[in-house]
Amino acid sequence: MNGAVYWFNGEIMPACEARVPVLDHGLLYGDGVFEGIRFYGGHAFRLDAHLDRLHRSAAAIRLTLPRDRHALAAAVADTIAAYGRPVGYLRLVATRGPGRLGLDPASCRQPNVFIIADELALVSESVRAQGARVVIASTRRIAPDALDPRIKSLNYLNHILARIEATSAGADEAILLNAWGHVAEGTADNVFVVRGGILLTPPATDGALEGITRAAVIELAGTSGIPWAERSLGAFDLYTAEECFLTGTGAELIPVREVDGRVMGACPGPVFRDLRAAFRGLVERETAMAERQSNHR
């Protein structure tokens, strides 16, 4: 198959043939959860961590997934194989399924699960090399006591409004603050800064998603001897940072060169360069390991 590939409830098909019922509550009300997953060398990166998060998100919204972990892992492998390219991006989505009009999901008897395999590039290669221009959005992150940021739900309107602000400002990305003025996250990525030689990132309690790439970067910082901490950050911390960068499954690692017109001390800075190299090494090692395990089956 050429172009995007779509797995829908067990069947592989071209994306142009895929159909989601108009009465699906995932479409009508954003009632569902998802994961974005990168694959390298034909193998999904940190799939177990993604499936763990998917199941936690589903449990939090009382959505019973119609397929177990083994079946979902097999579906991911089938979708990658059908896509036919070694590197790409997957969107794994579970919706509440079709039901009657109205918010009550009681009439939704059968969830839908689908996987899309395609390319995804959040920024250009020149931005990756030179650094992203970022603005702080006026749109605030939904408070954790209203919607826990650890739930990776289909309700992304909050982030879309911030993304519109970035586009209108001619910026590459927007960063959302929470109701108390603390940095939460980007529209599709986690935020890191370096201050006083220490790598800092906002905690989930400030509205940050517990990102898979974020966790990998923290892990790599520990093994590389880079001091790090979760800490509440404000706009001032971004404006005066020695370095700033973004992480995410779609983003991977992107350096930031300016925030609201304030130029970073270094871009890409030494901490970012070290972590980017370490991340690439991690991907290579885990991909090679997955390939060996696949060959031994």
Q: What span, in angstroms and rounded, lies between the C-alpha atoms of 67 and 59? A: 14
Q: What span, in angstroms and rounded, lies between the C-alpha atoms of 128 and 118? A: 20
Indicate the angle between helix axes 212-224 and 47-60, nearest 10 degrees. Answer: 130
| Nearest CA among 173, 129, 135 for reference residue 276 | 129
Contact 34, 98 (CB under 8 A): no
Q: What span, in angstroms and rounded, lies between the C-alpha atoms of 137 and 159? A: 10
152 is catalytic: yes
> Pairing state of beta strands 228-230 and 198-201?
parallel
Catalytic pick from 43, 152, 159, 163? Answer: 152
| Nearest CA among 156, 60, 186, 67 for reference residue 115 | 67
Q: What amino acid positions are annotated as catalytic residues?
A: 152
